[in-house]
């Protein structure tokens, strides 16, 4: 029996969750699904420029797990861009970890998709 998946910490759910090539009707497009934890890993590592150790720590995962998350996210993003597919961001095993700036206390809300 495999281990249950551990929830990954994310700062927030993305505001924009769907991208598609311009000029192609949505009914004619294949979709690639990127999970919320995958987009969080890309945001922290690629956009904010954090080292893998810091990114893994912020997400509450090991560095090997972060590497697998990033590899999957990069492959899916490349597939959507190169092959003209729509990209939908949804689901995954994650916990939204919000920080109250007045108290520096972490508040949590969780989401799990089976």
Domain of residue 108: give its range: 8-112
Question: How many helices and strands (H and E) does the chain possess?
Answer: 3, 6
CA angle, residues 73, 74, 75, in degrees to nearest 5:
90
Residue 14 lies in a domain: yes
Number of neighbours of residue 1 by Cβ within 10 angstroms: 3
pTM over 0.85: no
Residue 3 lies in a domain: no
Residue 105 has what pLDDT?
40
Nearest to 35 by CA among 62, 60, 8, 4: 8
Residue 101 lies in a domain: yes
Residue 80 lies in a domain: yes
Q: What 8-state DSSP symbol labels residue 60? A: T
pLDDT one digit per residue (tens) for the chain, 114 residues: 777 778 899 998 999 999 999 999 999 999 999 999 999 999 999 999 999 999 999 999 999 999 999 999 999 999 999 999 999 999 998 999 875 544 444 444 455 543
Total number of domains in the chain: 1
């Amino acid at each position: 029996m495999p281990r249950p998946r551990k929830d990954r910490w994310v700062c927030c759910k993305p505001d924009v969750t769907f991208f598609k090539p311009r000029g192609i009707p949505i009914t004619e497009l294949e979709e690639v699904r990127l999970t919320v934890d995958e987009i969080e890993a890309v945001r922290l590592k690629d956009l904010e420029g954090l080292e893998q150790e810091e990114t893994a720590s912020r997400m509450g995962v090991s560095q090997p797990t972060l590497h697998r998350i990033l590899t999957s996210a990069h492959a899916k993003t490349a597939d959507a861009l190169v092959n003209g597919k729509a990209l939908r961001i949804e689901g995954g095993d994650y916990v939204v970890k919000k920080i109250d700036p007045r108290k520096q206390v972490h508040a949590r809300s969780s989401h799990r998709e089976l």
